[in-house]
Amino acid sequence: MKKADVKKLVVAAMFTALAVSLSTFSFPIGASKCFPIQHMVNVLCAVFLGPWYGVLVAFCTSLIRNLLGTGTLLAFPGSMVGALCCGLAYKLSQKYIPTYIAEVVGTGVIGGLVAFPVASLVMGKEAALFTYVVPFLVSTAGGTVIAALLITVLYKSHAINTLTSLLENDSPVSKSKAS
- Number of domains into which the chain is organized: 1
Q: Is 119 contained in some domain?
A: yes
Name which residue leads in pLDDT, 104 or 78: 104
Q: With 60 as the cut, is the pLDDT of residue 157 above it?
A: yes
Can you give the pLDDT at residue 176?
Answer: 38
> Where residue 153 sits, what CATH number does that domain have?
1.10.1760.20
Q: Is 62 contained in some domain?
A: yes
Q: Is 176 contained in some domain?
A: no
Can you give the pLDDT at residue 31?
Answer: 62
Please, which pLDDT band fits residue 116 given cuts at 50, 70 and 90? confident
Can you give the pLDDT at residue 125?
Answer: 73
Range 4-10 average pLDDT: 89
> 29-43: per-residue pLDDT in tens?
666 666 789 999 999
The share of the chain scoring above pLDDT 70, in percent, equals 87
Q: Domain residues for 78?
A: 3-23+32-167
Q: Is 45 contained in some domain?
A: yes
Q: With 50 as the cut, is the pLDDT of residue 26 above it?
A: yes
Range 108-128 average pLDDT: 80
The share of the chain scoring above pLDDT 90, in percent, equals 60
Q: With 80 as the cut, is the pLDDT of residue 5 above it?
A: yes
Q: Is 43 contained in some domain?
A: yes
Q: Is 178 contained in some domain?
A: no
Q: Is 175 contained in some domain?
A: no
Please, which pLDDT band fits residue 101 given cuts at 50, 70 and 90? very high
> 36-83: per-residue pLDDT in tens?
899 999 999 999 999 999 999 999 999 999 999 988 888 898 899 999
Can you give the pLDDT at residue 34?
Answer: 67
pTM: 0.86
User: Three-state SS string across the chain, please?
Assistant: CCHHHHHHHHHHHHHHHHHHHCCCCCEEECCEEECHHHHHHHHHHHHHCCHHHHHHHHHHHHHHHHHHCCCCCCHHHHHHHHHHHHHHHHHHHCCHHHHHHHHHHHHHHHHHHHHHHHHHHHCCCCCCCCCCHHHHHHHHHHHHHHHHHHHHHHHHCCHHHHHHHHHHCCCCCCHHHHC
Q: Is 174 contained in some domain?
A: no
Nearest to 127 by CA among 110, 109, 115: 115
